Structure 1
Amino acid sequence: MNLYQVEMDSKTFVDRPLKADPEAVLREFKNEFGKTKVTNITARKLIDFRKRFFGEPGTELTSCFIPDWKELPPKIAQIKDKDLRLFALFLNRRWKDLCRQVRNETLLFKEAIIRGHTSIRIKIIKIEDPRRNSLIEVPHPFIVPGGRFREFYYWDAYWIVKGVYFRFGFVPNGGRIYYLRRSQPPFLIPMVYEYYEATEDIKFVRENFDHLVREYEFWVQKRSVKVEDKNGNKHIAYQYRTTSNVPRPESFRADIQAALEIGENERQKFFQNIASAAESGWVFSSRWFRDRKTMKTIETTNVLPVDLNALLCWNVNILKYFANIIGNAQKAEEFEKKGRDAWKTLNAIFYNDTGKAWFDYNLRTKSHEVLFYPTVAMPLFTGCYTMLDYDKSAKVINFMNRLHVFDYPSGIPASLSNTGQQWDFPNGWPPLQHIIIEGMRKSDNPEAQEMAFKLARKWILANYKIYNTTKKMWEKVDVNGTIPKPGAGGEYDVQDGFGWTNGAILDLLVTYRDRMTIRGTDQTVRCYISKRYVYAAHFTIECM
């Protein structure tokens, strides 16, 4: 189906539910096409077959009710600027549009065997024959990013990942079975930390501590590598390295087309590097390309990403904190040591004295690529530097200033390389803006803190313009120009929704609720469209 491009997007086909059991559909497919050469099959016949045996993507899900959703959350009510408060209310209402749950659910109990010896009874969902769709079934409602991303994703929601972990021993990339051979950046432990900070639910931490430890151990056991620093000291570092060496089902045609330029003996490694880049979330970026330009030189498995290593450093520090508050002194001591080791690794392997910042490390060249990516600020975001490094936040800012990355009118680009890939220039991504802003805000450097506010204001106003003109929230934007356009490039059209866009902006609006304002800005910011009223949520604002 995807080879003949019967769908504009390969993901559409693998998301379609079957109308009959898999055996019956396969039998009918063999009857109709089994004796026909692939080159003689027509797209028209494939489309007819699809219509008979496949349903519409997303029909196995339904919208849902969020029981604790509030029309006016207290923290949003505290936003002083009226226009931004209305903007926040609009974003808050979008969670209702993005809530999904599996249809026709029947709760069952299933024995989940963890590591071959721990038996845990968990709730799962049965939808007719679960083999009729590609969903990873979960018993509770969840938030989807939006657009083509119809299922949950690791980056976007933590309240569903516990049940998924019981079955698979790690948190997969997303809520489809074709994601089971890769994960995504390990944010589960920080998510639980955010939950605990908001609720002080120590019982939840105590009940889930062992599962959080096992999530961390997945990365230690499956994604770690030994590396020597310039002094010959050995360190444990981490990389994105999936076992998959075939085209991604959700991007089958794109991967096949990309592999045409690759020698047959090298294609399995090529596909592994593609899948490993997908595990990083950066699909795709010049970060992973040997020549910094073209997909055919992708070498993800040669790269030690600084952001992944800083994130896992944060993971162990949180686990140490959790071990202390639940009274597990042995684990607290263990993670204390792991935290020290992780800090040493970040500074010995990833810090570059010339660039004065942290950079990805290449195993092939045994060196850094001293190029700008927002990941240079990741150790600031995760707090994986000590008071002895207090000047490093200033040095990171100086590095970015020298490259003029703060000069773009609508945010910070994902890189300075215009490759046509979506995680490169000129696209600005919400999580990357948030990481840089929060990293600088949490530092002890007043200059960094002030820069964080300016960047937050720039990003909020850029998205406010988009909201006023289109009533959409894009997954990424073009940071060029004072009137932001949707981001472009990559394998699919820009998506509206959008989970992490809304979440990052809401967090910044609440963080700067006493200070952030659009008053005094150019009139085009407040009332960009040439109409008498701009609609925000269910309110109106008169344009003066």
Structure 2
Amino acid sequence: MDDSQAQAAQVAPADSLTPADRYAELFVDVQCGRVFDDSKTFVDCIPRQEPDAILSAYRARKDDPRFDLTAFVLDHFTPECEPVSNYVSPPQQGLITHIDGLWDVLTRRPQQHPRYSSLLPLPYAYVVPGGRFRELYYWDSYFTMLGLAESGRPHLMRTMARNFAYLIDTYGHVPNGNRTYYLSRSQPPVFALMVDLFTRYGVITRARSYLPQLRKEHAYWMSGAETLQRGEAHRCCVRLNDGTLLNRYWDERDTPREEAYLEDILTGQQSTRPAREVYRDLRAGAASGWDFSSRWLDDPHQLASIRTTALLPVDLNSFMLKLETQIASLSAMSGDIETAKAFQRKAEERSQAIRRLFWNERVGAFFDFDWQRDRLCTMLNAATVTPLYVGLADREQAQRVAQAVRQRLLSAGGIATTEIGTEQQWDHPNGWAPLQWMAIRGFKRYGETSLAQDISDRWLTMVGRLFERKSKLIEKYVLTPLQAGAAGGGGGEYPLQDGFGWTNGVTRKLLRDNPQHPSNQSRSASP
């Protein structure tokens, strides 16, 4: 048994109770009483003693007129120590050197999993995004790994690969993140894309060794599909009136998100719908990774109008297509021809459905589909590039998507998330690294190299300019004219975060692909 196997054997089965499950009315009182400014702080706290003893002590003392809730919490819990979020390079350090050095800052190890916290133990080292995000996140990690590969960190890619396999084997899916309060949902299913990455960089010797996990993940997303009648939905699956089977985002719970408890309660109070419907759609929006965006809203300026579960997202179904084709391919390599044929049929049916239902011929772009209202959505957003990224589109469609993106989404700093400016962070004018990467690679795949290069150049210029001013990389950027100076993105439920995993990963990869770009020479600010 090697060191990594021995390390894996030491991981104890996780207690899957969430903070709300565990602390009952204490949890509600802390979150609604705003003991901490950030709702995520309490759910990440480490208890100083047995949780049952803490809850008993609270129940015994809470009615005392002199009781101080904040003092009680600080006596019984230790807030997780947030790494210094404003990690700054030494003066005149190069951008590439900064990214390469930041991986150590963002790496977490199994011994750092405290007992009775909400953190789900993992057997191997992993990389977190940074700032308030101190745990492993699913789709973030794929884009982070692009940079790990270029920074010469195959060992971290290998340990993260094993962690994702462990999560699927243990829980049946990859949770949104390795926290108990994330177990009820997943995120965009990109494990199939990870397997390609692992193979390309020699991280694994046989891709088909991950076939069992790929099939388990597919089973999670397709649970209940076999018995669905036309016009019905169950969990992540929807069967349309014509019999077409597709996927949506979903969360098993219909309560306020524990990491945003008070925020969700206040949002639910602004809606005329039952609050539990709003909570479910907020949770499903978090599962999408686009939390939040006018993409999911009936009224772009009212979060309470969110309808995530009513929509069939074009990017989710594109990722599911990749998962099905990956299973078909690896099954064929393994000699399981029957399974290979079955999944190839699934992939062909999904591919035809995406082309038929998600394509707007008049606009020349892919859109989400509103299955409850039986109509195509009309909001153009950056997810339109995902069918290109997975190779689903035909040549003419790719050309037309390129034209639409060039005319409507291309901004000074890269591809915009949406055309609509709102208070949500996944909207104009913010730009996000994963969307840049999928656009660049999708357009390159179909020969739209000038647009791909333009997006890459704009993104690198913006990231490089902010690094020269602030000596750091960040979660999201404002894609404003660069003459005004690159700036961090705004909106959303929490302050802008430094770090930042997927920005580092995508930027590091693009710098490697574009060695002549001036940002390769960017230096951190002088004191």
What amino acid does structure 2 have at the position aligned with 1:88? I
Deviation at residue 103 of structure 1 after TM alignment: 2.9
Q: In the superposition, relative to structure 1, how do residues 319 and 210 fare at CA in structure 2: closer, same or farther (>3 Å)?
A: same
Residue number among 27, 50, 61 corresponding to 2:73 in the alignment: 50
Matched residue SS, 1:211: helix
Q: Is 1:14 aligned with 2:17?
A: no
TM-score, scaled to structure 2: 0.83
Confirm or deny: 8 A CA contact 2:271 2:305 kept in the other structure: no
Matched residue SS, 2:356: helix
Deviation at residue 310 of structure 1 after TM alignment: 0.8
> Which residue of 2 is the match for residue 437 of structure 1?
440
Deviation at residue 58 of structure 1 after TM alignment: 4.3
How far apart, CA to CA, are the structure 2 residues paired with 1:450 and 1:321? 32
Deviation per CA, 1:388-430: give whole Å up to 9, x if none: x211111012222342x22x21122211111110011111011
> Which residue of 2 is the match for residue 288 of structure 1?
296
> Which residue of 2 is the match for residue 371 of structure 1?
379
Q: Is 1:246 aligned with 2:244?
A: no
Confirm or deny: 8 A CA contact 2:417 2:426 kept in the other structure: yes
Deviation at residue 188 of structure 1 after TM alignment: 1.0
Deviation at residue 104 of structure 1 after TM alignment: 6.6
TM-score, scaled to structure 1: 0.80
CA root-mean-square deviation? 2.3
RCO comparison, higher one (Cα < 8 Å, 6+) = 2
Q: In the superposition, relative to structure 1, how do residues 276 and 41 fare at CA in structure 2: closer, same or farther (>3 Å)?
A: farther
> Which residue of 2 is the match for residue 449 of structure 1?
449
Q: In the superposition, relative to structure 1, how do residues 315 and 104 fare at CA in structure 2: closer, same or farther (>3 Å)?
A: closer
What amino acid does structure 2 have at the position aligned with 1:224? C
Matched residue SS, 1:164: helix
What amino acid does structure 2 have at the position aligned with 1:22? P
Q: In the superposition, relative to structure 1, how do residues 240 and 41 fare at CA in structure 2: closer, same or farther (>3 Å)?
A: farther
Greater strand proportion = 1
> Which residue of 2 is the match for residue 383 of structure 1?
391
Identity within the alignment, %: 28
Deviation per CA, 1:275-315: give whole Å up to 9, x if none: 00000011110011112221111111111100101111111
How far apart, CA to CA, are the structure 1 residues paired with 2:33 and 2:407? 48
Greater helix proportion = 2
Alignment of 1:404-415 (within 5 A): 405-406=409-410, 408-415=411-418
Confirm or deny: 8 A CA contact 2:95 2:521 kept in the other structure: no
What amino acid does structure 2 have at the position aligned with 1:392? Q
What amino acid does structure 1 have at the position aligned with 2:443? M
Q: In the superposition, relative to structure 1, how do residues 41 and 366 fare at CA in structure 2: closer, same or farther (>3 Å)?
A: farther
Matched residue SS, 1:503: helix
What amino acid does structure 2 have at the position aligned with 1:239? R
What amino acid does structure 1 have at the position aligned with 2:331? A
Deviation at residue 193 of structure 1 after TM alignment: 1.6
How far apart, CA to CA, are the structure 1 residues paired with 2:463 and 2:419? 21
Matched residue SS, 2:244: strand
Matched residue SS, 1:391: helix
> Which residue of 2 is the match for residue 226 of structure 1?
239
Residue number among 134, 152, 170 corresponding to 2:118 in the alignment: 134
Deviation at residue 135 of structure 1 after TM alignment: 0.6
Unaligned runs of 5+ in 1: 63-82, 106-126, 520-524, 528-533
> Which residue of 2 is the match for residue 472 of structure 1?
472
> Which residue of 2 is the match for residue 112 of structure 1?
none
> Which residue of 2 is the match for residue 68 of structure 1?
none
Alignment of 1:52-451 (within 5 A): 52-58=75-81, 86-103=94-111, 130=115, 132-157=116-141, 158-159=160-161, 160-199=163-202, 201-203=204-206, 205-221=207-223, 222-228=235-241, 233-263=242-272, 266-385=274-393, 389-403=394-408, 405-406=409-410, 408-443=411-446, 445=447, 448-451=448-451
Confirm or deny: 8 A CA contact 1:314 1:384 kept in the other structure: no
Confirm or deny: 8 A CA contact 2:94 2:524 kept in the other structure: no
Deviation per CA, 1:508-530: give whole Å up to 9, x if none: 222334xx4229xxxxx977xxx
Deviation at residue 535 of structure 1 after TM alignment: 4.1
Deviation per CA, 1:224-244: give whole Å up to 9, x if none: 11124xxxx431111002221
Deviation at residue 202 of structure 1 after TM alignment: 4.1
Confirm or deny: 8 A CA contact 1:58 1:150 kept in the other structure: no
Q: Runs of 4 or more off by more than 4 Å in structure 1? A: none
Matched residue SS, 2:37: coil
Deviation per CA, 1:166-219: give whole Å up to 9, x if none: 22111100011000101000011110121012218443x333211111111211
> Which residue of 2 is the match for residue 460 of structure 1?
460
Deviation per CA, 1:465-493: give whole Å up to 9, x if none: 11111111111011113111111011000
Query: Which stretch shifts more, 271-280 or 366-375?
Result: 366-375
How far apart, CA to CA, are the structure 1 residues paired with 2:524 and 2:275? 51
How far apart, CA to CA, are the structure 2 residues paired with 1:41 and 1:14? 25
Deviation at residue 41 of structure 1 after TM alignment: 9.1
How far apart, CA to CA, are the structure 2 residues paired with 1:31 and 1:279? 38
How far apart, CA to CA, are the structure 1 residues paired with 2:329 and 2:105? 36
What amino acid does structure 1 have at the position aligned with 2:507? I
Deviation per CA, 1:340-381: give whole Å up to 9, x if none: 111101111111111111100012321112222001111001
How far apart, CA to CA, are the structure 2 residues paired with 1:495 and 1:373? 23
How far apart, CA to CA, are the structure 1 residues paired with 2:265 and 2:385? 35
Q: In the superposition, relative to structure 1, how do residues 104 and 380 fare at CA in structure 2: closer, same or farther (>3 Å)?
A: closer
How far apart, CA to CA, are the structure 1 residues paired with 2:280 and 2:66? 29
Q: Is 1:510 aligned with 2:486?
A: no
Kindly tell me the number of residue pairs found equivalent between the two proteins: 458
How far apart, CA to CA, are the structure 2 residues paired with 1:218 and 1:41? 49
Matched residue SS, 2:222: helix
Deviation per CA, 1:35-83: give whole Å up to 9, x if none: 47xxx898xx111001110012148x99xxxxxxxxxxxxxxxxxxxx9
Confirm or deny: 8 A CA contact 1:430 1:504 kept in the other structure: yes
Q: Is 1:27 aligned with 2:56?
A: yes
Confirm or deny: 8 A CA contact 1:99 1:144 kept in the other structure: yes
Please tell me whether Structure 1 or Structure 2 has the larger radius of gyration of its CA atoms.
Answer: 1
How far apart, CA to CA, are the structure 2 residues paired with 1:200 and 1:338? 29
